[in-house]
Amino acid sequence: MKSQHLKLGFLASRNGSSMRAILEAIRIGILDAEARLVVSNNRSAPALEAATAAGVQTLHLPTQADPDAADAALAKAMVEAGVEWIVLSGYLRRLGPKTLAAYRDRILNIHPGPIPAFGGEGMYGRRVHEAVVAAGVAASAITIHLVDEEYDHGAVLAVREVPLEPDETAESLEARLTGLEPEVFVETLQRLASGQLALP
């Protein structure tokens, strides 16, 4: 796979920690990419402020009142902004068919646990870490995968295994993985841009 200049769009519902790390990686020149658009379903999302401060175009797009219209508007906005890859950075809404069709195999999400074992509908945030600790497994993982119609189902692109400590709690595991997630996302995009990441 050849190298490419990534034209990125972001979806974030809250802080957008991975988005912020990616924007910084672009700014300091360690990621061959540009941010074209940041969209949030939450008007007060700190991610929108961070994007504006970085000079990136933003859009607030409510999804609850009319999900179909929001899906069409999202796909249109991303295409018109010249976005080629969409990054989910804590986006708490299921994507609709128009956006999924327009960006088939070009939407990346990060999941705070191994999938499929600790993925699926309702498995996000603290719930994932609680399930991992309760299962008594030796390690959790940060997983980056492509997004399709099912929760946490698309092809896995990158995995960073994180061994559990002897006295691990859901809270301590969440803190450790949350701290690592932005770094893993940046590394994955670097591999994608350089042509080192084999896509399915």
Give the catalytic positions in this structure.
111
> Under 8 Å CB-to-CB from 126, ≥6 apart: which residues?
170, 171, 174
Tokens coding 185: 């996302």
- Note the Cα 106 to chain centre separation in Å: 11
Residue 53 phi/psi, 5-degree rounding, is: -65, -30
Contact 21, 3 (CB under 8 A): no
Place of tokens 């309702």: 122
